[in-house]
């Protein structure tokens, strides 16, 4: 709790205590006014100083960091979009089979192709190496962002792979379509990765790579990044 927030609470408690002990209301009023004025002076004295204006050297440095970061982030965003497309395709395949709109053979064929797309997306994320020219903190944030995305992509790939293997007609233990669908749905629920929570890293990078006078933002996080 900050001092400016704590001060009104302490003043209110003190006035309540004084009200109980001071019977003379004129004296109480005098003390109340004195305490109020003292609290105002104290709050003004302890206010947070205004941030120092950014120097031209600092602005130039941030501009250089932006030029290094933005190409990396654009590739990262393309990878995020591909992950979203793959996951949507995965769910569409399972929903189509659940509705008995496609056969188990078609499910297996489509998941086999999707597995290759998921592997390619994971490799693309792995190949998108954080630029070494980034300042240390920026580099660490980008590294964390890439690592979280890579873990998510790998979990997504495994979910698709395991579902594809289970949908192999040669490995199925039942010919009943509803049972096959239930089995695939259970794998999907069990293997689905948790959300990609990278909002903290993206927000920190946005703050660090934005020049105060510049209203434009150097980063544009995807809607799915939370």
Provide the Cα torsion 67, 69, 71, 76; round to 10°. -170
pLDDT at 167: 96
Q: What is the pLDDT of residues 167-214, one digit of tens each?
A: 999 989 999 999 999 999 999 999 999 889 999 999 999 999 998 865
Which tens digits make up the pLDDT trace of 49-107?
A: 556 677 889 899 999 999 999 999 999 999 999 999 999 999 999 999 999 999 999 99
Confidence check: pLDDT of 153 > 80: yes
Q: What is the pLDDT of residues 38-48, one digit of tens each?
A: 666 666 555 55
* Average model confidence (pLDDT) across the chain: 85
H-helix or E-strand containing 1? none
Dihedral angle sign, alpha carbons of residues 36, 42, 44, 50:
negative
C-beta separation of 196 from 223 below 8 A: no
DSSP secondary structure, 49-96, as one string: PPPPPPPHHHHHHHHHHHHHHHHHHHHHHHHHHHHHHHHHHHHHHHHH
């Amino acid at each position: 709790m900050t001092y400016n927030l704590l001060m009104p609470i302490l003043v209110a408690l003190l006035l309540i205590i004084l009200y109980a002990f001071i019977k003379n209301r004129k004296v109480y009023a005098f003390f109340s006014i004195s305490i109020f004025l003292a609290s105002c002076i104290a709050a003004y004295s302890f206010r947070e100083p205004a941030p120092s204006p950014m120097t031209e050297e600092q602005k130039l440095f941030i501009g250089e960091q932006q030029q290094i970061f933005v190409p990396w982030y654009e590739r990262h965003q393309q990878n995020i979009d591909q992950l979203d497309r793959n996951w949507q395709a995965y769910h569409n395949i399972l929903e189509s089979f659940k509705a008995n709109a496609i056969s188990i053979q078609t499910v297996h064929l489509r998941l086999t192709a999707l597995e290759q797309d998921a592997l390619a997306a994971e490799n693309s994320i792995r190949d998108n190496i954080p630029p070494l020219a980034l300042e240390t903190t920026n580099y660490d944030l980008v590294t964390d962002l890439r690592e979280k995305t890579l873990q998510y992509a790998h979990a997504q790939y495994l979910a698709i792979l395991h579902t594809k293997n289970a949908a192999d007609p040669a490995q199925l233990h039942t010919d009943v379509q509803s049972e096959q669908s239930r089995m695939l749905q259970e794998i999907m629920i069990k293997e689905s990765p948790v959300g990609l929570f990278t909002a903290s890293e993206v927000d920190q990078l946005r703050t660090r790579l934005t020049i105060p006078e510049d209203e434009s933002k150097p980063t544009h996080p995807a809607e799915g990044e939370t």
